Chains A and B, each alone.
Chain A
């Protein structure tokens, strides 16, 4: 069955460093991969989408890579700030109207 793995343990990093979060998947051939941010008591907020034919996508301090051979996406936040502390979810979709499948999310804590 399809499986998405995100590190369920919290990631603690020092302010100013680059945070790297991992999303691995098996038994899936996604057309695209999305990343969301979720704060406590709030719904997820869409951040970025990267398609299967794209290697890298950037948006301000965010960078996402997508390696369909490794079946992995990396999500980077450069010059991290305490305000970046949240849970980050990856989601995979097959294109057209197809439901996306979410990972469990990784909690990021940026320490001042």
Chain B
């Protein structure tokens, strides 16, 4: 299965600023997924990023707040914009373990722990 490098692993940011999280995959993948994991809550899908098209956002998430780039089949970024303390969370990127085959589950990056002060 794919290996994902995600960075930064953690950051402390001032409110009102933006942070860009990067994910690099060691193989070409069609879809990349961005999740948020807030303390004491389940993983929540923010958006799905396909190369060459606009990301598809889940209910409650908007492009202005979480712009995503997908310049090629191995790389994606998620920006958390105009941050507030409520954005403090772990952010994770993910790809299918085997494209089109749920048998192999999903592979996740190691996550970015964001604290907004």
Q: A44 to B45, Cβ gap below 8 A? A: no
With both beta carbons as reference points, the residue of chain A lying nearest to B99 in the complex is identified as A97
- Sample 18 A-B pairs with CB under 8 A, ordered by A number: A34-B105, A41-B9, A42-B110, A43-B94, A43-B108, A43-B110, A43-B111, A44-B106, A46-B1, A49-B102, A49-B103, A49-B104, A49-B105, A89-B43, A95-B102, A101-B42, A102-B43, A102-B44
Number of A-B contacts (CB under 8 A): 59
Give the interface size class of chain B: 20 to 34
Residues on B with beta carbons closer than 8 Å to the beta carbon of A104: 40-42
Separation of A46 and B44 alpha carbons in the complex (Å): 16
Q: B43 to A93, Cβ gap below 8 A? A: no
Chain A interface residues toward B at CB < 8 A: 4, 8, 32, 34, 36, 41-47, 49, 89, 91, 93, 95, 97, 99-105
Known: A49-B103, A103-B42. A41 touches B108 (CB 8 A): no
Which 3 pairs, one residue from A and one from B, show the smallest C-beta to C-beta distance? Answer: A46-B105, A43-B108, A102-B43
Separation of A45 and B94 alpha carbons in the complex (Å): 11
Q: B105 to A36, Cβ gap below 8 A? A: yes
With both beta carbons as reference points, the residue of chain B lying nearest to A99 in the complex is identified as B45
Interface assignment of B92: CB less than 8 Å from any CB of chain A = yes
Residues on B with beta carbons closer than 8 Å to the beta carbon of A44: 43, 92, 106, 108
Separation of A41 and B10 alpha carbons in the complex (Å): 10
Known: A34-B105, A101-B42. 19 other contacts (CB 8 A): A41-B9, A41-B111, A42-B110, A42-B111, A43-B6, A43-B108, A43-B109, A43-B110, A44-B43, A44-B106, A46-B1, A46-B105, A46-B107, A49-B104, A89-B43, A91-B43, A95-B102, A97-B31, A104-B41
